């Protein structure tokens, strides 16, 4: 780990110190590292075809004409991205779904935009994490299959 010196104005330092005071970060260094990680993650996702993991959350009115069918169709049309989807009945009309996705950033964003554009879909939120395939393969002993992992 390297030690660096930076110069920032008092207002920015106040934001960092407030984050530490609230217990979100252990110290100033961790707060700055976390901010840099977030910017780097955003830049990686925005850069193009970065492979990603994502959580797509949305609330929709299941009483809206054919909406549940259209939402299901959109997910089936993108079955290559979908790892799993969970469905929660919020009230008599509203459902919350969270879909776990894996694939290229543009495809994930396109699916999120497609669902957000459906009439009756509300509160769409997409959380994207860039990933990289690990070049190493390993197994876990006798009888296990060699496999690789992803890095976040």
Strands 150-151 and 132-133: antiparallel
Confidence of residue 146 (pLDDT cuts 50, 70, 90): confident
- Boundaries of every domain in the chain: 10-46, 51-133
Among 20-29, 44-53, 141-150, the least confident range: 44-53
Report H helices in 22-147.
Answer: 28-46, 67-77, 105-117
Tell which CATH architecture fits domain 51-133. 2-Layer Sandwich (3.30)
Among 19-33, 82-96, 128-142, the least confident range: 128-142
Read off the pLDDT of residues 59-78 as tens digits, 9 standing for 90 and up.
Answer: 999 888 888 889 999 999 99
CA angle in degrees (0–180, nearest 5) for 128-129-132? 135
Q: What is the dihedral of CA 39, 41, 44, 50, to 10 degrees?
A: -160
pLDDT at 46: 61
Beta strands in 1-152 (DSSP E): 51-61, 82-89, 94-104, 121-130, 132-133, 150-151
pLDDT at 49: 66
pLDDT at 74: 92
pLDDT at 48: 65
């Amino acid at each position: 780990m390297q030690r660096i010196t930076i110069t920032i104005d008092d207002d920015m330092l106040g934001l960092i110190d407030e984050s530490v005071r609230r217990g979100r970060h252990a110290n100033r260094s961790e707060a700055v590292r976390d901010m840099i990680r977030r910017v780097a993650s955003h830049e990686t996702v925005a850069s193009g075809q970065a492979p990603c993991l994502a959580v797509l959350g949305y609330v929709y009115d299941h009483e809206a004409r054919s909406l549940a069918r259209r939402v299901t169709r959109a997910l089936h049309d993108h079955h290559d991205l979908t790892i799993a989807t969970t469905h929660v009945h919020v009230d008599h009309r509203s459902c919350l779904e969270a879909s776990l996705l894996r694939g290229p950033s543009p495809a994930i964003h396109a699916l999120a935009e497609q669902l957000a554009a459906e009439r009756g879909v509300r509160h769409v939120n997409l959380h994207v994490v860039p990933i990289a395939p690990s070049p190493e393969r390993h197994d876990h002993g006798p009888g296990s299959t060699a496999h690789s992992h992803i890095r976040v």
